[in-house]
Structure 1
Amino acid sequence: MDSKSNAALKTTEPETAEQTAPASSVASPASAGPAANTPTTASKPSPARLWFKATGSRYLVRVTALIVAVALWQIASDNGFNLYINFDNIPAPTAVWSALVTELGGQEFYLHIMHSLQRVALAYGLAVVLGVVLGVAMGRSRWAEDIILPYIELLRPIPAVAWIPLAILMLPTEQSSIIFITFLGALFPVVLNTTHGVEQTNPTLIRAARSLGASNRAILWHVVLPGAMPSIVAGLAIGMGVAWFSLLAGEIISGQYGIGYYTWNSYTLIQYPQIIIGMLVIGGLGTLCTLLVRKACNPLLKWQVKGGQS
């Protein structure tokens, strides 16, 4: 009996193992599959969330700061705030917005903007070309610096308004006078920042390129200019802001069209909301143009490591 029972047990054990094995092998993937996939899909952040975390939150802070400033302006105008700064005659943001809607309904307002944009584009383009060339020459040659720098330092402190009478006497038209004044305003920041960037180029890199057989032209294009590009871009951005400042001065005195003329003419006609509209349009156009300059130069600064902010 013992031998028969042992034989029976031996024959039944493999059958039970064979019956249970497929069940476990089939059940395990079915039960583990969805559970393994669920955490990965749930934890992956959406593109919108990633954008907001990286960039959107900063824009939210900036917009909030502007909204707070407008709200304080509205409160000060409504209550006639007068503590050294008098808001009695300053129109409220609601009045400025109403006047802006009226201006946008006509064509003359757009003519002022177009004339100003054309003048800035032409004057700034000339300033960039001449300013970068002079800056590179001054940064690479002591003779060029000794010849050009005295003129730069002598003329740079002269304000744009002081150039207006001489520009009218020298140049044939008011349009050319305004462009000349705007050109001078943009020129000096570009020249000085370009010179500074070229002078700060690492001399070790220049010696290494020269030891490898690079010519002076190759060193200029592949070593000096890329190394000076951060300073050049800073000069271009500053020059754009100064160009709008100088344009305003030129259009106030000798212009017939332009956003500067529009602002000054509004003052003479005692149209206070239009004065603020002109100021805000100048600030907005200057900011937009500076942003376009920075965006256009970003491909030239891909090698630069950003840091310093937390």
Structure 2
Amino acid sequence: MATSLAPTESGSMPSASGRASSGIPAGRWIWRCVSLLACLGLWQIAAQYKASLGFVTMANVPAPTDVAPAFWHLLHSPKLPMHLFSSITRVLVGFCAAAVVGIGFGLAIGRYRAFEDTLLPSLEVLRPIPAVAWIPLSILMFPSSEVSMMFITFVGALFPVLLNTIHGVEGVDPRLVATARSLGTRRLSLFSEVILPGAAPAIVTGLSIGMGTAWFCLITAEMIAGQYGIGYFTWESYTLQNYADIVVGMLLIGALGMGSSVLVKRLGLALMPWYRLSEVRR
């Protein structure tokens, strides 16, 4: 029933074969690699010649030729596994908790006005508060610094998941709900076979955004309260004036955040056989 009633991205009924997903052509991959190499080249030139525009200067920014040896040194450092393990563990715990709470509350708020009137006002007040503002309070709330940093990642990932889930539920075609009810679908089955599949694309988008936000918030927390982690390594490099290591930490954060967000999106699409992204851009 989920396959027949779940809406597509445009809100219309899907075709029998679904949307065909096509890979990226080789020409586009080549173009992307060329653009990345061009950015690295501009970075090298600007740092090597200490380019300055008045309001921004590259005089103290390390060049890629300085960052590469620092990255190689970090790969052989005995502290790297501990940094990675600490950061990944904190992100996964906070993200999983945010996924459970965000999806659960989002389904309830998006479907029932009583939950919307009860929960949404308080959540909307908390939503604009930046994660860094939660750090002092989280330290006071939780005796363990590890739990406080996991809480920061939870806060950062919660609201993208929550809002996308709410919008996904509200965007389900009412005709699908009416059709399911006319076929005798009960309330629990209505959620599992119509509402949840219909809102799934928006939920996956929220999870992907939330994963990236969790990394952003974790790094902020680790800079202040951590002893291990990529954020702590980046901030420690700044205090020790190891400028190349700062860029290494930043690039590692970006790679981990991008990779985990892509992984969440890919897993989400694999779990939605009734939904396929169509290639509409030129």
TM-score under structure 2 length normalisation:
0.89
Counterparts of 1:112 and 1:53, CA distance in 2: 34
Tell me the CA shift for residue 158 of structure 1: 0.8
Secondary structure of the structure 1 residue equivalent to 2:25 = helix
Secondary structure of the structure 2 residue equivalent to 1:91 = coil
Q: What does residue 163 of structure 1 align with?
A: 134
Q: Which blocks of at least 5 consecutive residues in structure 2 are unaligned? A: 1-21
2:66 to 95, 112, 124: 95
Q: Which blocks of at least 5 consecutive residues in structure 1 are unaligned? A: 1-51
Q: What does residue 308 of structure 1 align with?
A: 280
Counterparts of 1:53 and 1:176, CA distance in 2: 41
Tell me the CA shift for residue 302 of structure 1: 2.8
Instruction: Give the stretch that moved more between structures: 57-66 or 219-228.
Output: 57-66
CA contact (8 A) 1:168 1:174 kept: yes
Secondary structure of the structure 2 residue equivalent to 1:85 = coil
Q: What does residue 200 of structure 2 align with?
A: 229
1:209 to 145, 162, 180: 180
Q: What does residue 60 of structure 1 align with?
A: 30
Tell me the CA shift for residue 60 of structure 1: 1.9
For the aligned residues, what is the CA RMSD?
A: 1.4
Q: What does residue 120 of structure 2 align with?
A: 149
For residues 49-88 of structure 1, the aligned pairs below 5 Å read 54-83=24-53, 84-88=55-59
Counterparts of 1:140 and 1:254, CA distance in 2: 39
1:193 matches 2:164? yes
Q: Which amino acid aligns with 1:80?
A: K
Higher relative contact order (CA 8 A, sep 6+): 2
Counterparts of 2:25 and 2:189, CA distance in 1: 38
Counterparts of 1:168 and 1:53, CA distance in 2: 46
CA contact (8 A) 2:269 2:275 kept: no
Counterparts of 2:115 and 2:192, CA distance in 1: 19
Please tell me whether Structure 1 or Structure 2 has the larger radius of gyration of its CA atoms. Answer: 1
2:215 to 244, 249, 272: 244
CA contact (8 A) 2:169 2:199 kept: yes
Q: What does residue 131 of structure 1 align with?
A: 102
Tell me the CA shift for residue 53 of structure 1: 8.5
1:262 matches 2:233? yes
Q: Which amino acid aligns with 1:303?
A: W
User: How many percent of aligned residue pairs carry the same amino acid?
Assistant: 47
Q: What does residue 93 of structure 2 align with?
A: 122
2:155 to 179, 184, 192: 184
Tell me the CA shift for residue 58 of structure 1: 2.3
Instruction: Give the stretch that moved more between structures: 77-86 or 279-288.
Output: 77-86
CA contact (8 A) 1:226 1:300 kept: no
Tell me the CA shift for residue 64 of structure 1: 1.5
- Greater helix percent: which structure? 1
* Count, aligned residues: 259
